[in-house]
Amino acid sequence: MPRHIILAIFAVALFTRLLHSNVLWVEEAYPTMAALNILAGRSLYADFWFDKPPLFPLLYTLWGAQTGALLRIAGASYITVCAWLMARVAGNWLAGALLAFFLIFDVPAASMVLGPDLLTLAPVLGAVLLRQRPIAAGAVLALGFHVNTKAVLFLPLLWSWQAVVSFVLVAAPAFLMPGYLEQVWRWGALYAQDSFLDSPWREGFAKTAGWLGFHAALVLAATRAKWDRLQLLWLGAALLCAFAGLRFFPRYYFHLLPPLCWLASQALTSASRWGRFARYRWALLALLLIPLIRYAPGYWRPERSKDLAMFRDARQAAKVIDEQAGPGDTLFTWGYRPEIDALSRLPGGTPFLESQPVTGVFADRHLSSSRPSADPAQTAAQLQRLAASKPTFLVDGLGRYNPELAITKVPALAEWLKQYEVVAITRGTVIYRLRR
């Protein structure tokens, strides 16, 4: 890929992301919260519950779990790396440019954070690029597995027993980490089995059809390309990633972008595949205006977004905590409100960073539902572990949205709560402090 195109991709990615430097999206607050605890000397899984693979929060320690500009620079750099890898895999710069475009303007800005699905793209691209060196390819893909367990679905792309052995050897050590199997795999399986959608399959096919229509520039161009086994396997694995868990969040569809960008770029750079319509093939790129017009405005004035109402409340709660906190103070947030922990920068004071493992109610529904997905016996044991801890600050970030799940409604924590006094109430939180 020409250097000036790489620099242009980085510049556009950085500009768009710096517009959100004062925002912390919940999907990036979660690994930031875990990274802060790691930097504070707490052991992942053993000292605190975390339901994602280990490399995910460890990556956030590279920039000191800082938010703001550093986080945005990391995001822009990652997109640039993905574009460069895409160009190398496809053998043309257009594939990389298309991937970069969609990683910037493909979905709402809230989904453009460095989450597991986005972070899987580079290891998969790297593994495909190295497929003639199967041992290296398997090891690179295993790094993706340590960010997102879905990476295992891309192992067939390497079709080599050496790659499989290499993958297993690099992936296996994580299973030796105390708590990893329970928190990442068993809890993850429970999450995948219980979709919050009433008709998940119908929803899935509708959203997939809508995604393909929204990406008509790629899809129509890809129909004129010469498909091979690798690209078909890649598309199949990507569709499995989109359907895994039956939730169909926009970020799940990131996996479809690399093979489609490869196919589309292959067709667009080959006039012979279009026959008498060859002169019109570049007109398809006009369809890129669809995502550009739809999502580019979302980068401006993000603080006005309705999606950030809870972030604004978290910022207020973190300010209250910051004004009262001292050296050695700790925090526990009831509810899935990792922004509060990330903004306050206090380490956790319990074996849990949020309340999903304690209530058994997943965050994708707990603002409106109190139906647990986990075995009550398991959550009862987790409640006992929580009640044995004494964080300095306790924030109920859930009860003001869903009173049935307020921390005061949990009988097993009634005595524990007597140790705390309310020091502040915001629109979405009740802040407690350990009595002195």
The residue among 169, 165, 171, 132 whose CA lies nearest residue 151 is: 171
Whether pLDDT at 417 is above 90: yes
Q: Residue 279: exposed, middle, or buried by beta-carbon count in 10 A (0-12, 13-18, 19+)?
A: exposed
Residue 286: predicted pLDDT = 82
Summarize pLDDT for 59-89 with one digit per residue, the tens.
Answer: 999 999 999 999 999 999 999 999 999 999 9
Residue 113: predicted pLDDT = 83
Determine which of 19-33, 233-247, 301-315, 356-370 has the lowest per-residue pLDDT on average: 301-315
Whether pLDDT at 371 is above 70: yes
Residue 194: predicted pLDDT = 82
Residue 192: predicted pLDDT = 84
Mean of pLDDT values over 83-101: 95
**What are 69's two structure tokens?**
């500009």
Summarize pLDDT for 227-240 with one digit per residue, the tens.
Answer: 999 999 999 999 99
Summarize pLDDT for 387-405 with one digit per residue, the tens.
Answer: 999 999 999 999 999 999 9
pTM, 2 dp: 0.91
Summarize pLDDT for 182-210 with one digit per residue, the tens.
Answer: 999 999 888 888 888 778 889 889 999 99
Whether pLDDT at 382 is above 60: yes
Pairwise pLDDT comparison (376 vs 258), residue with the higher score:
258
Residue 372: predicted pLDDT = 87
Residue 118: predicted pLDDT = 94
Residue 193: predicted pLDDT = 85
Percent of the chain with pLDDT over 70: 94
Q: Is 347 left (phi over 0), alpha (psi -120 to 50) or beta?
A: beta
CA–chain centroid gap for 267, Å, is: 31
Q: CA-to-CA distance for 311 and 276, rounded, in angstroms?
A: 54
CA–chain centroid gap for 419, Å, is: 36
Domain coordinates of the chain in residue numbers? Answer: 3-299, 307-434
Summarize pLDDT for 116-160 with one digit per residue, the tens.
Answer: 999 999 999 999 999 999 999 999 999 999 999 999 999 999 989
Q: CA-to-CA distance for 20 and 73, rounded, in angstroms?
A: 11
Whether pLDDT at 161 is above 90: yes
Mean of pLDDT values over 292-311: 72
- Specify the 3-state DSSP secondary structure of 103: helix
Supply φ then ψ for residue 244, to 5 degrees.
-60, 130
Determine which of 92-96, 102-106, 313-317 has the lowest per-residue pLDDT on average: 102-106
**What are 426's two structure tokens?**
């915001």
Supply φ then ψ for residue 27, to 5 degrees.
-65, -25
State the pLDDT confidence band at 275, using cuts at 50, 70 and 90. Answer: low
